[in-house]
Amino acid sequence: MRHNSEYQILVVDIQTRFQPHIQLYSEVVNTTAKLLTAAELLSIPALIFEQYPKGLGYTDPALTQFQIECHEKTTFSALNDTLAKEAISLDPVVTKIVVGIEAHVCVYQTVRDLLRLQQPVIVVADAISSRNSQHKTWAIEQLRHDGAVIVSLESLLFDILKDAKHPQFKSVSKLIR
């Protein structure tokens, strides 16, 4: 399969053991599943990262159905793990689309480190969360200040499509209705 070389999706630590503790966990999983479905339709490559899965459980089964390369890590930023970092495209023309939990720890540190490497980053606001909603708010404020673009899934997908004449328009638009 030929990949859309403009984007790469990074799914950060959406793991089952977080479910009882994360506000809006189900919404994050559902939104991420829609994003990954769109990624398949649009040939956008994706990676999954798992924070210490032996202790925190594995990626939510709703997301593992996509057969995406997965990297275990113990570092909070995916870029501080050598193998995980090697999987991430650090080509500055490839925009990284980041989703996951927790917004103020692993998502924040991964995005911050990408920005420090002058990588373009989009954070999908409705596909990130934390145990405390205020922590998500503060993370979004800081990441926006640092240079990340913060958007909703719907905004992102229509921005990628650019035109209602796109061959995948109907399939992708059905995901967000």
Mean pLDDT of 42-46: 96
Classify burial at 147, counting beta carbons within 10 Å of its beta carbon; exposed 0-12, middle 13-18, buried 19 or more. middle
Mean pLDDT of 32-42: 97
What residue ranges do the domains of the chain occupy? 7-175
Classify burial at 70, counting beta carbons within 10 Å of its beta carbon; exposed 0-12, middle 13-18, buried 19 or more. middle
Integer angstrom CA distances of residue 150 from 1, 9, 153, 154: 29, 14, 10, 12
Q: What is the pLDDT of residue 165?
A: 95
Which CATH number does 7-175 carry? 3.40.50.850
Q: Name the band, by pLDDT with cuts 50, 70 and 90, for residue 4.
A: low
Token pair belonging to 10: 């990074």
Q: Name the band, by pLDDT with cuts 50, 70 and 90, for residue 106.
A: very high
Integer angstrom CA distances of residue 52 from 12, 40, 49, 83, 142: 12, 27, 10, 14, 26
The tens digit of pLDDT for each residue in 69-100 reads 999 999 999 999 999 999 999 999 999 999 99
The tens digit of pLDDT for each residue in 114-136 reads 999 999 999 999 999 999 999 99
Average pLDDT, the chain: 94
Residue type, 17: R
Our measurement of the distance from residue 77's CA atom to the centroid of its chain's CA atoms, rounded to an integer in Å, reads 13
Using CA atoms, how far apart are residues 34 and 127, in angstroms rounded to an integer?
A: 10
Q: Name the band, by pLDDT with cuts 50, 70 and 90, for residue 9.
A: very high
Mean pLDDT of 144-173: 96
State residue 30 phi and psi, 5-degree precision.
Answer: -60, -45
Q: What is the pLDDT of residue 1?
A: 41
Mean pLDDT of 35-41: 97
The tens digit of pLDDT for each residue in 14-30 reads 999 998 899 899 999 99
